[in-house]
Chains A and B, each alone.
Chain A
Amino acid sequence: MEIGVFTVSDVTRNPLTGETPTEGERIKAAVAIAKKVEEIGMDVYATGEHHNPPFYASSPTTLLGYIAAQTERITLSTSTTLITTNDPVKIAEDFATLQHLADGRVDLILGRGNTGPVYPWFGKNQQDSVELTVENYNLLRQLWDNDVVNWEGKYRTPLRNFTSTPRPLNGVAPFVWHGSIRTPEVAEIAAYFGDGFFANNIFWPKEHYQQLIGLYRERYAHYGHGTEDQAIVGLGGQFYMARKSQDAVKEFRPFFDNAPVYGHGPTMESFMAQTPLTVGSPQEVIEKTLSFQEFFGDYQRQLFLIDHAGLPLKTVLNQLDLFGELVLPELRAEFARRRPAHVPDKPVHTPRRVGAVTAAG
């Protein structure tokens, strides 16, 4: 089980001080958080991709490259990389480069995009988003898996005798997750290629994600990558904790009540009851997280959103210290105890791509 942190990269006013961090402060904070992720023994740091305020993360590989230089162990990932509006050639090149710099500690989560205007900003139509995902990902796979690509499609200029450089490290492309909150076609793509399926699991009730994940597991087995319970699933989640539950509630409430994504709607209590958000003691975070396994089956990656809603960096770092001390060891032990031996512990490259390694010699 990989346990880590993902950010949506929002620049949000701190409701207690009234101060809004600068973009530069938030970008530097991302680096500090990623280093802390490594220090406390977590496995993954992932950054979102947005192209509009109030988000800073428009250039994930630049950020992750800088973090790669200052860390040694953690996997660097995205949450998500836009497969619809980015040129698949550029994705292939950027992430292969990052692989070399980070000694292979790289994977990525692909998504379609979360705001309508991002499509026209990059010359695409939102109505085409599923087709763009299918075509672009199919091309990205070819660019990584084949040394020479001849390709023609609908949305991009043709490629004749094209070699994407650098080639993936040791001939093995970064592991790919496909993120989706509502689209069965994305589950199908993930299953077809034997890739991972990531459900961000942040805002919606679990029953919705159970359907999509069930679909993915079924198709994963259909395509012969393994049994349904061996499919590679990742989940999001978010928490705020303190040693005493009531302190966590008191400290986080002003941030919750004023956050653009949560605030001025349901109460924090009803939000907690219906979504993965936990505000409470470390024990409550452990219990809620383990309940994900009960709902969705054994899974391979758990990412937490923690640096949002205007929480200052110092608070986020304290959260991570507390997590490392009181939550992480318990989660690791319990997830390991529950996982049957035939279910993979971490994302693994499918036999198809293991074959590619052998072929590359």
Chain B
Amino acid sequence: MKVAVVTAGLGVPSSSRMLADVLSDAVKGELSLSGSDVTVDVLELRDYAVDIAHHLVSGFAPPALAAAIRSVTDADALIVVSPVFSGSYSGLFKSFFDVIDNTALEGMPVLLGATGGSARHALVLDHAMRPLFSYLRARVAPTAVYAAPQDWGAGADDEPALAQRSRRAARELAGMLDGRPPARPSHQIEPSAPFEDLLARIQAPTS
């Protein structure tokens, strides 16, 4: 089972990367319960920032970014984490998904995560990230995990600790996989229908 982890944190170390690690450990733990052999590939988008910009203007991916995109589109499940910038996911995070073909993530099980300077940004998960992955026709786990600064310490009193929330989200993702990789559409260039069929499909308006 191949899990790709995409994190758009900019600092080193970054709290988005920390959350990504918590989530991928939880997912690895859940998947190994079902006996799956799990490989995790972590992609820090800061490493591809210039390549992503070049792809936006030139229309094709430089080799390193092309490999990163393949790693994401070939994965069996995806964990994505963005910091909150100006009330939404970061521009780098969005740009990465903008340069991926918009059908390439159809059916992909995805676990959403976000980090921010205050717990008050938590709705970014459901107001920004979830719609983005709905548009891409990915399958998003019901629980998404937001980490505010206090989550790295004692945690807020009125909600379960980060580790607990992460485990619940990981269980949901693992449940979507159910021990085997999901059936996902192929993204090779598929042959066309035969010419006679292409022609027959064109229906003249009935007059």
Contact = CB atoms under 8 A, between A and B. Distances in A.
A204 B59 contact: yes
Contact of A153 (B54, B58, B192, B202): B202
Contacts of B204: 152-154
A191 to B, nearest CB: 8
Nearest to A183: B192
A53 interface: no
Contacts of B205: 154
Given A134-B202, A138-B199, A154-B202, A265 B57 contact: yes
Contacts of A188: 191-195, 198
B189 A212 contact: yes
Contact of A185 (B53, B188, B198, B203): B198
Interface in A118-152: 130-131, 134-135, 138, 152
Interface in A177-224: 182-185, 187-189, 191-193, 203-205, 211-212, 215, 218-219
A274 B59 CA distance: 12
Contacts of A274: 60, 62-63
The interface residues of chain A, by DSSP majority, are classed as helix
Interface in B50-107: 53-54, 57-60, 62-63, 66
A185 B199 contact: no
Contacts of B192: 183-185, 187-188, 215, 219
B60 A205 contact: yes
Nearest to B53: A265
Contacts of A266: 54, 58, 62
Contacts of A154: 202-205
A342 interface: no
Contacts of B57: 264-265
Contacts of A296: none
B190 interface: yes
A273 B11 CA distance: 31
A335 interface: no
A271 interface: yes
Interface in A94-114: none
A134 B194 CA distance: 11
A211 B189 contact: yes
A270 interface: yes
- Chain B CB count within 10 A is highest, among A134, A182, A184, A218, for A134
A215 B188 CA distance: 11
A152 B203 CA distance: 11
A189 B202 contact: no
Contact of A134 (B54, B66, B198): B198
Nearest to A205: B60
Contact of B58 (A135, A152, A265): A265
A277 to B, nearest CB: 11
Nearest to A187: B192
Given A134-B198, A192-B195, A211-B188, 19 more contacts: A131-B202, A135-B199, A138-B199, A154-B204, A182-B189, A183-B192, A188-B194, A188-B198, A192-B194, A193-B195, A203-B58, A203-B60, A211-B189, A212-B189, A215-B189, A219-B191, A219-B192, A266-B62, A274-B60
Interface of B: 53-54, 57-60, 62-63, 66, 188-195, 198-199, 201-205
Q: What are the 9 tightest A-B residue pairs by CB atom distance, in nearest-first order?
A: A188-B192, A192-B195, A265-B57, A184-B192, A185-B192, A266-B54, A265-B58, A211-B189, A154-B204
22 contacts: A131-B202, A134-B198, A135-B199, A135-B202, A152-B204, A153-B204, A154-B204, A184-B191, A185-B193, A188-B192, A188-B194, A189-B195, A189-B198, A205-B60, A205-B66, A215-B189, A219-B191, A262-B58, A266-B54, A270-B54, A274-B60, A275-B60
